[in-house]
Amino acid sequence: MLCGPPCPIVGHFIPAAAARPRRSTTPARPPQSPPSRPPAPDAAPAPFKNIDPAFLRAKEDPASEYCLPYAWGTVGIFYNETVTGPIAGWADFFAIPEKTGGKITLLDDMREVIAIGHVMNGTSVNSDDPAAVQAATDYVLARKGAVSAFTYEGPPLPTSGDIAAGHFFVGGNVFFTETPNIKYVIPAEGGTMYQENICVLASAPDKKNAMKFMEFYLRPEIAALNVAQQFNGTPNLPANDLTPEAIKSNPNINVGPETLTRLQIFEDIGAALKLYDRAWNTIRTAQGMAPLLEIRAARRTFVTPEGGHLAALDGIDLDVGANEFVTLLGPSGCGKTTLLRAISGFETLDSGSMRLDGADLTALPPFRRPVNTVFQSYALFGHMNVARNVGYALEVAGLPKAQRETQVTEALQKVGLAGMGARRPGQVSGGQRQRVALAPAIIAKPRLLLLE
């Protein structure tokens, strides 16, 4: 739901992890295409001498002129051998909780997690076949009960004893140089690998200096320093001879040809990403029951003052589980409020569906939805005191005064405003007014609470 201006919300939900900055132990996504190729005089050193040709795979740079491969690695399993015994692959990994009572974690990464299902089913991690994606999702769902968490905080946990094993990037080895009981294995059934490139954009203000930097990075001793620091692989062939012996001799870091045949690398899957978004929502919210809120292909278009059309919601898919807190993040005008208003019934979808507790909300008016909203403007009555503002919906509903007063008192206590019921909204601070607005929303005990 992150988008930039002009920013309609689109139906691609990017996991928080996919947007955060990462060190080189993270899976490289395909390099971003520059607007056009840099002029020939600024081309990179011909043609990236020292680089293993197998890594010259950037589709945006087929002639290998301005995208330099500088690091690569694998994604596998870290495990505390003292607890688990030897681990060979995914089957052993998912059996750990039942066999040992130890906990396991998976990466909080949509494609890495679903890739496990693809690998175990013998399908491509880049598949755009809905049946293959569903089968991969089903594989993960069948084992989700064994998973304690989806997290990027993997490396410290086996050492502290919080988990017995975790799914993580090969660079995590840097944390375990002095803990020989913590092992890393590339699953026997197969896994994923990543590659990271440095690319000079056509819009770069100083291409010559950018190319000089790449020439510097092509030096074997410099590439070897990166390996020593990050515990990943290097495509720089001479650099391999300069890396520390502990890395050079580790077959799970310095991977051999046979192991490479078991690894797949992610590619841009275009519109098929929607299949993975939907699958990931299902995996994250699955608790042995259907999601609390289920939105499918929600679309809402507005006519602009100039006579054009703006798709504020464009094919939104979203699952929200019970007891889950979800934040919609994006710049002003990107559709956050439109989505909230559609959920609460104040906006009518052009197409798509919404279900709450399995019941279809799409055509229900706001007053028939078990949904309450705290509006951005608070929507408080200035002529009423705090207590009457909080209990007004109960008053309209005809609840007896004594019951209203009891529930209002409880609600004010919950939001930290006990004893302030007699004040007017203008007689409390801004933060307290926000809590006054929250109290009426929770007093009716809605199934879903929306905070604008």
- Secondary structure (3-state) at 383: coil
Instruction: Provide the whole-model pTM.
Output: 0.60
pLDDT at 163: 92
Integer Cα distance of 214 and 156 in angstroms? 34
252 with 244: CB under 8 angstroms? no
Q: What rounded mean pLDDT belongs to the chain?
A: 83
pLDDT at 382: 81
104 with 163: CB under 8 angstroms? yes
pLDDT digits (tens, 9 = 90+) for 102-139: 999 999 999 999 999 999 999 999 999 999 999 999 99
Q: How far is CA 180 from CA 106, 170, 176, 200, 233, in A?
A: 22, 15, 7, 40, 21
pLDDT digits (tens, 9 = 90+) for 174-191: 888 889 999 999 999 999
pLDDT at 440: 79
Integer Cα distance of 242 and 187 in angstroms? 27
15 with 108: CB under 8 angstroms? yes
pLDDT at 290: 63
Integer Cα distance of 63 and 382 in angstroms? 69
Q: What angle do CA 8, 11, 17 make, to 5 degrees?
A: 100
pLDDT at 47: 53
Integer Cα distance of 448 and 434 in angstroms? 18
> Average pLDDT for consecutive 10-residue bins of the chain (452 residues)?
28 28 34 36 56 84 85 94 95 95 93 97 97 96 90 84 93 87 94 91 90 90 90 90 88 86 94 92 71 88 89 89 81 89 92 88 88 78 85 80 86 86 85 82 82 80
